[in-house]
Structures are given as structure tokens and as C-alpha cells.
Amino acid sequence: MPPPEFLSWPTPRAVLAALPGARAVGGCVRDALAGLPVHDVDVAAPLPPETIAERLRAAGLKVFETGLAHGTVTAVLDRQPVEVTSLRRDVATDGRHATVEWTTDWRADAARRDFTINAMSLSAEGDLWDYFGGRDDLARGVVRFVGDPATRLAEDYLRALRFFRFHARYGRGAPDPAAVAAIRAAVPGLARLSAERVWMELKRLLEAPDPCDALALMAETGVLGAVLPEVVEGGRVPRLEALRRLIARGLPPDPVLRLAVLVGESAPRRIGELAARLRLSGEERDRLARLLVDGGEAPPEPGLDDDGLRRLLALRGPDAVDVLWLAEARDGRDRAADRARAAAMPAPAFPLTGADVLALGIPEGPRVGALLRAVRDRWLAGGCTADRATCLAWLRELAGPGAV
């Protein structure tokens, strides 16, 4: 094939020049063939990792031993990293980890990869090695395991989740029946996966342009119920059609927002359990809770006037547009105009603080917060337009004649 553009980037070019016989592998080859943007370049070489590191340093590249035990180093030139891995073959696997040894056999290295579309390799000159028909599978939109699907899954059960992610991005039409049957049988093995690995794959799936068909297939095989039971009822995903509708209207590929659509309104305890089980980051957990635990608030009506939109922005801040998306998920009513206006409008800031209450001679205590909330409620009711002087006048009125 004509050498794709990424082979001319400084770091891949330097790495391939420093390691005779090395090839680009995996996702960069797949995406170049699919006509998609290439973001990360991986290289493999028929050399032990210590020799790879030595030759890369001799060629003037910075080398970081990011995964030396697994045969991987990261080469950097002009701040552009490339992961370089020794060719490997599996000695033993346990469904989560593999014991490997180095090899010079490219086919053996390709045979240990998950899917045919990820098992291709490419020389600096554009020579393509495709041992298992990945190029044809990519053209047909078929995600197919390398070799026996059950064997590949038993080596690493995370491949069951990866199948759905790749099917969402590259699949067209019916999925490979052998893969689906093997995944259905492998569901019990998913319990062996760490929460971090599961959430990593779920996030990547939810970031796909349209993950809905893949999610439906995950539910049908039992995979989604095993890893994300909060969104499955009776073997189906009740809010899947809401997600599909919102994606058609432009819902961004934001995994936390899309997860919120699938989960729907929920109690704080349930959100806490989900976040703990998937090991969400603190930021992800807090955002999911803000979006889903609404305190019984009714969803904003479509066609908000300026006062209503300012109130929403004041109450929900950076989550305001997401709240409008979730309101659409709940009642199906299009709020595109409100979302556009909310995205363009700055959030109003309440002009008083606790210091303003204390300045009136009110002693520290519960009354400070109560007075501040009362003034803020009046400010919100008026569409968040009252200025600082007006709010101070309201505060003095509420504080009574004993205030300064």
C-alpha cells in the first residue's frame, strides 16, 4: 500500500530507521487502511527490549522504560511518543495476565492479538503483512477474533468488552456469529476483570459515534448485565432508545453524560455504589451525581425565556447544557434552541457572600447562611438580574432594624 502519512512523522520515522526489520502495528495500521485519522503509533521489532532501548538511545531518541517487563519502551522525539514492543509469544495466560517470551516470529506475535483488524503490520516502505485476513474484514465491517474466539477470550476476558467497542466503530451489519457465541459463553469470566479495566473499555465504547447497537448486543449476550447492571432490566436497556434519539440530535461523545442518559434519575446511594464498583474518578463520580440526583426537580420545559435560562445557569453552572440533554432523554421534547442559548450565555454570579452578612453585624452562625439563601432565592426568582446594590438592600431588609 502507499506509505500512509504517519510513517513520515518524525518519531515513527526515526524509530523504524533505528530498528531494521521493525514495523508499525495495530491501530495505526488499521485506521490508515480505514481512512480514519491516526493519533497514536505503535511499533514492534524482532529484538529483545534491552536491545531496542539501546539502539533507540544511540539514534538520539529519549527512551522511557514504561513497560519493560512486558517488552515495551516508549521512544520520544520532538515530544511525540511511540510505543515500541518486542515481538512476543504467550507462554501462559490466566484470563487477565499473560506470561510471554520474546520471539522473532512475526506471525506468532500477530497470532496473540485479539482481532484480525488489529493483527496487521506495516513496514516503513508500505509493505503490509496481514496473516489473518484483517484487511478484508475491515473492508467488510466484520470484527473477527484471531483464531478460535473462545481461546482468545480465555487468554484475556477483557477482549469481550473490546469486541463491542470495535464493533461499534468498525462493524457494519450482523456481528460475527462465532464471536458472539464465544462471548456469551465467556460472561462468567468477566468477574475476574478489574473495575478499572472494565470502566476503561466502557468509556471507550460510549465515546464511539453511535454505540447503541453494540450496547443492545451486549445486553442480549449478558455482558452488559454483568458489568453495568444499573442500565439493564429484563435483558434489555430501557433507556437505549432515548440515547439513540439524543445521538441523532447531536449528543456529544461524552462517556459520563451518555452513562447518565442510560442510568436515568437515581438515588445518591445507587450512584455511589455504581461509582465505587466501577472505580470512577472523583471528578467522574461527582459529575454523575450532579447530573442524576436532582432532588426531585422537574425537567426544564422547552422554550425557556431569558429569566428561566439564567436561573438554570445559576443553579447548574457548567452542567446546564447537560441537564437539558437529560431532560430530553426523560420526556423526548427537543430542547436544541435552549441548549444553543445556554452554551452561549455566561452563567450569572450571585453578587453577595457571607462576608456581606457579617458586615451588617450579624454574628457567625446558622442565620448567616439563612439570610444569604433568602436573598439568593429572591435573586433567582427575579431571573438573576438584580445587581449587588439591590441584593444588599434586600439583605438589610431581611436582617431587620438591628443590622448596621
Give the per-residue SS3 of 47-61: CCHHHHHHHHHHCCC
Confidence of residue 68 (pLDDT cuts 50, 70, 90): confident
Task: Say what the pLDDT of residue 193 is.
Answer: 94
**pLDDT tens figures, 269-298:** 889 999 999 999 999 999 999 998 765 567
Dihedral over Cα of 301, 298, 249, 306: its sign: positive
Cα 85 to Cα 80: distance, rounded to the nearest angstrom: 17
Task: Say what the pLDDT of residue 180 is.
Answer: 98
C-alpha cell at position 238? 430501557
With contact defined as beta carbons under 8 Å apart, do 194 and 157 qualify?
no
**In terms of pLDDT, which residue wins out, 298 or 368?**
368
C-alpha cell at position 103? 520471539
Task: Say what the pLDDT of residue 314 is.
Answer: 95
The mean pLDDT of the chain is 93
Res 75 pLDDT > 90 = yes
Task: Say what the pLDDT of residue 300 is.
Answer: 87
Res 92 pLDDT > 70 = no
C-alpha cell at position 315? 443553579
Cα 22 to Cα 282: distance, rounded to the nearest angstrom: 41
Beta bridge partners of 75: 63, 82
Which DSSP string corresponds to 8-65? GSHHHHHHHHHSTT-EEETHHHHHHHHTPPP---EEEESS-HHHHHHHHHHTT-EEEE
What stretches of 78-234 show up as alpha helix (H) in DSSP? 106-111, 134-140, 149-155, 158-170, 177-186, 195-206, 212-221, 223-227
C-alpha cell at position 369? 447562611
Cα 11 to Cα 61: distance, rounded to the nearest angstrom: 8
Task: Say what the pLDDT of residue 334 is.
Answer: 94
Res 91 pLDDT > 70 = no
Kindly state the percentage of the chain with pLDDT values over 90: 87
**pLDDT tens figures, 291-317:** 987 655 677 889 999 999 999 999 999
Confidence of residue 46 (pLDDT cuts 50, 70, 90): very high
